[in-house]
Amino acid sequence: MTNPPRDLLTSRPRRLRSTAAIRRMVSETRVHPSELIAPMFVREGIDAPRDVASMPGVVQHTRDSLRKAVTTAAESGIGGVMLFGVPAERDAIGSAGSDPDGILNAAIRDVISEVGDSIVLISDLCLDEFTDHGHCGVLAEDGSVDNDATLQRYAELARAQAEAGAHMLGASGMMDGQIGFVRSALDSDGFSDTALLAYAAKYASACYGPFREAVDSQLKGDRRTYQQDPANGREALREVELDVAQGADVVMVKPALPYLDVVASVAANVNVPVAAYQVSGEYSMVEAAAANGWVDRDAMIMETATAIKRAGAQLICTYWAQDLATLLRQQ
Ligand code: PBG
């Protein structure tokens, strides 16, 4: 056997992989529970939690089971909860969203009285769960989504959510000007401490399928007139720049894994925290493959979270937040 040429071996990267302790010491990326946000669903008019079939392990909560789930999340050190409401009644303008007694606003109050400031409560600021047509905004006569009329509704929802005690509002509707409009509505009503998380770069993705079951979405058609074209990367920077200029406290890229290039370029271009939302379809794909024994579930959970952080996201919104907190404790 001839020895390999000497010059190939002056640098041996494998030295730093030789033991678990060395690998741990030189690891560039760590996931911490405080950077995780757990999305949760609360449904009006049910007396026991309901499974979401396309998202094994995820449920639609009752107000009571939600309170307990958020308490558990706070105790396990997770950073935040992202709350979505599923109302019993829907109409064209999503009235239930701004009704102080609507399911989302009532649940915000429940949760805050239970956990106070021990975990960050982020509420979904959007109309799609509340409208009978399923769009994220109100419709004009011709059936198109009316941007500016929608902003008025977002301001009303924002006031109701801030009043109920949400710490941060997750503006997920992708209307132009939504961050600035909601910010000034909140400020003029005395809610200047309520933070805004902007779904700044949100793509019209096929990965939202299971979520639409989770919120019982009424949508027929698609959201391509307001969510971004998956083909566009630079456009994300434009969206993010506008949201930061309008007062976004946190910007989010969504989905996560298919858009890690966008996460990286956004992280390189802003000075506010960057979040990435590992969405329902990303979750369900792994759960389905793991249920078939095709992938190692825990390893996939850890690897995907690490990859999202490595790309530049500081915060990860993920249905595995609780599982990750447990896995991280066992490390
Ligand atoms: C809409 C909204 C969606 C998600 C979060 N907020 C769905 C959509 O745009 O159709 C998707 C989240 C997920 O898939 O996990 N306000």
3-state secondary structure of 252: strand
Q: Is 7's pLDDT higher than 80?
A: no
3-state secondary structure of 311: helix
Query: Tens digits of per-residue pLDDT, 227-259?
Result: 999 999 999 999 999 999 999 999 999 999 999
pTM of the model: 0.96
Average pLDDT (180-188) is 98
Confidence of residue 4 (pLDDT cuts 50, 70, 90): confident
Q: Is 106's pLDDT higher than 90?
A: yes
pLDDT value, residue 223: 96
Q: Which amino acid is at 180?
A: G
Nearest residue CA, atom 8 of ligand 1? 208
Dig out the tokens for 266 from the structure. 């956004």
The DSSP code sequence of 103-167 is: HHHHHHHHHHHHHTTSSEEEEEE-STTTBSS--SSPBPTTSSB-HHHHHHHHHHHHHHHHHHT-S
| Mutate which of 41, 153, 174, 211 for ligand 1 pocket (most atoms within 8 A of beta carbon) | 211
CA pair distance 204, 255, nearest whole angstrom: 9
pLDDT value, residue 3: 76
Q: What percent of the chain has pLDDT over 70?
A: 99
Cβ < 6 A, ligand 1 pocket: 126, 128, 136, 172, 208, 211, 223, 279-280
The DSSP code sequence of 192-243 is: TTSEEEEEEEEB--GGGHHHHHHTT----S--TTTSBPTT-SHHHHHHHHHH
Average pLDDT (161-178) is 97
Confidence of residue 101 (pLDDT cuts 50, 70, 90): very high
Q: How far is the CA of 256 from the centre of ligand 1 (A)?
A: 13
Confidence of residue 2 (pLDDT cuts 50, 70, 90): confident
CA pair distance 261, 296, nearest whole angstrom: 25
Q: Is 169's pLDDT higher than 70?
A: yes
CA pair distance 317, 284, nearest whole angstrom: 15
267 neighbors 274 (Cβ within 8 angstroms) = yes
Buried b or exposed e, range 14-46, using 16+ CB within 10 angstroms: eeeeeeeeeeeeeeeeebebebbbbbbbbbbeb
Q: How far is the CA of 171 from the centre of ligand 1 (A)?
A: 11
131 - beta bridge partners? Answer: 91
Q: Is 299's pLDDT higher than 80?
A: yes
Q: Is 1's pLDDT higher than 90?
A: no
Average pLDDT (84-100) is 98
Q: What is the DSSP code (8-state) at residue 37? A: E
319 neighbors 301 (Cβ within 8 angstroms) = no
Q: Is 323's pLDDT higher than 80?
A: yes
Residue 162, C-beta contacts closer than 8 angstroms, at least 6 positions apart:
169, 186, 189, 191, 194
Distance of CA 228 to the CA centre of its chain: 16
Query: Tens digits of per-residue pLDDT, 37-90?
Result: 999 999 999 999 999 999 999 999 999 999 999 999 999 999 999 999 999 999
Average pLDDT (142-170) is 98
For residue 280, the ligand 1 atom closest to its alpha carbon is 15
Nearest residue CA, atom 11 of ligand 1? 208
pLDDT value, residue 10: 78
Query: Please, what is the average pLDDT of the chain?
Result: 97
46 neighbors 62 (Cβ within 8 angstroms) = yes
Confidence of residue 164 (pLDDT cuts 50, 70, 90): very high
pLDDT value, residue 8: 73
**Active-site amino acid positions:** 202, 254
Residue 307, C-beta contacts closer than 8 angstroms, at least 6 positions apart:
257, 260
**Both ends of the chain: CA-CA distance in Å?**
42
Q: Is 198's pLDDT higher than 90?
A: yes
Average pLDDT (273-302) is 98
